[in-house]
Amino acid sequence: MLELRDKEEPVTDEEDERHRKRAKLIITGIALFVVLLLSILVRIAFTSRPTTNGLPDAVRAGSSEFDAYVPKLAFDEKEIIVHPNLIGMAQYEVRMKVTNRGDRTVNGLEMLGRIILQENNKIAAQNISVPIPRLKKSLAPGENMRVSVKIDAPGNVSEGEIKDVSAELKGLRFQ
């Protein structure tokens, strides 16, 4: 509460101390807010997000090297997870386990995730994820790892309009 005083009336030590405590409390609150905001920004900046550039120097579908090695990679335990948010939109995540059954070490794996609509099999959204080398440096023969691709659904698409959420291998890079 704000009190008006005469200019001649001095401020008591008790009131002065109260104002200092209030000022310290306000400054502490602002400092905590700034620290929280900075930590959120740092987390966003360093969160591993799928890249839109893809994997450089990768072999792609149609090349003999890619087409010969794809059958040696097994994708199992596929699951689709929906991450809704507060504004009614959703992010879809396709998780699966990939096993290298071949004889070469894979040091680059590029996945393409897609949301396909029921109407005309139209692609509503897609995203690229590079789990190798982002999550793990390489995948040696006989090894396996969990991979995922996250796809943001467009705001104008409801869950009922979605026919399929899929992930496929788009590129490989070998050691």
In the predicted structure, residue 42 carries a pLDDT above the cut 70? yes
In the predicted structure, residue 160 carries a pLDDT above the cut 60? yes
pLDDT value of position 32: 95
Q: How does residue 46 score in pLDDT terms, banded at 50, 70 and 90?
A: low
Q: Tell me the mean pLDDT in the region 87-110.
A: 92
- Distance (Å, whole) CA 91 – CA 84: 6
- Ordered by start, the domain boundaries in the chain are 11-47, 59-174
Q: How does residue 50 score in pLDDT terms, banded at 50, 70 and 90?
A: very low
Selected residue with higher pLDDT from 106 and 157: 106
Q: Tell me the mean pLDDT in the region 35-57.
A: 74
In the predicted structure, residue 107 carries a pLDDT above the cut 90? yes
Selected residue with higher pLDDT from 16 and 100: 100
Query: What does each C-alpha distance from 9 to 3, 15, 113, 154 come to in angstroms?
Result: 12, 12, 72, 64
pLDDT value of position 121: 86
Just give the CATH number of 59-174.
2.60.40.10
pLDDT value of position 51: 45
Nearest to 132 by CA among 72, 73, 172: 172
In the predicted structure, residue 10 carries a pLDDT above the cut 70? no
Residue 136: count other Cβ atoms within 10 Å of its Cβ: 15
In the predicted structure, residue 112 carries a pLDDT above the cut 80? yes
pLDDT value of position 78: 93
Query: Hey, what amino acid is at 123?
Result: I
